[in-house]
Amino acid sequence: MHTINCHGTLIDFSVPKVMGIINVTPDSFYDGGKSFTEDEILKQAEQMQAEDATFLDIGGYSTRPGADEISESDEIKRVVKAIKIILKNLPNALLSVDTFRSAVAIKAVEAGAAIVNDVSGGTLDAKMYKTVAKLKVPYILMHMRGTPKTMAQRTDYNNVTLEVLKHLSEKIARARAEGIHDIIADPGFGFAKTRQQSFQVLNNLELFQNLGIPVLAGISRKSMIYKTLETNVENALNGTTVLNTVALLKGASILRVHDVKEAVECVKLFQNLKS
């Protein structure tokens, strides 16, 4: 049974957990600009907590394919503002900061974030592992190649599942050697992977149990869903629910989603199926 320690709260993954996405960016692929004022940020956080999200993931830098870069100081301002607003009103919320920059991770954890979620798995900032080890918080380590701007061109694999697994296991070993104790693996659906490659990784997700740590599935409303269904991101909720169910059946411990209520229902039904 996997557990992680978030600011002294022990989270046990015998029942999978749901992580709600709060993007404080004007250009995210689905909800860009939706939660940008203090009231909007708080309203979204309150709704997600009411719907039983275990974690709220705060992102101030859009990592959609081809996204523009923003300065470190702008990213810090965005995430710290959101973290302070949420914790002032919801002091028990477990917040994760979605960043690949160690300086942002430091300021976010100082403001009260309990987890660092790094889409680059440490490849875009050489100080990240040492920083997270010093901060003594859990670390979500994702597989990606290149940067958000270049990753769409980095999809040449002989066997995508095995290469992603190998990459993650090497990174986990390095992160542990630096002193990070609680690690969660994220295969990085859509990050430096074609649609078909993302489906292949999902189809083999049970193999990621061999890493010996919780696995996060971040599939919510991604292009692997809406492009396959020949629709758009707004109409991708049903497809998201279907693939979240597949991820649970294949051993995912965390569903990272835009729509918390539906993901929590997935988990409840899955638990009844298991029992």
Catalytic residue among 17, 171, 222, 227: 222
How far apart, in whole angstroms, are the C-alpha atoms of residue 253 and residue 248? 7
- Does the annotation mark 256 as catalytic? yes
Q: Extract the tokens encoding 10.
A: 């022990």
| Contacts by 70-77, CB closer than 8 A, 24 or more apart | 72/101, 72/103, 72/104, 75/99, 75/101, 75/104, 76/103, 76/104, 76/107, 76/108
CB 25 within 8 A of CB 78: yes
Closest CA to 141 of 109, 114, 173, 163: 173
Catalytic residue among 17, 145, 193, 256: 256
CB 249 within 8 A of CB 271: no
- Does the annotation mark 221 as catalytic? no
Give the residue numbers annotated as catalytic, written as ranges: 222, 256
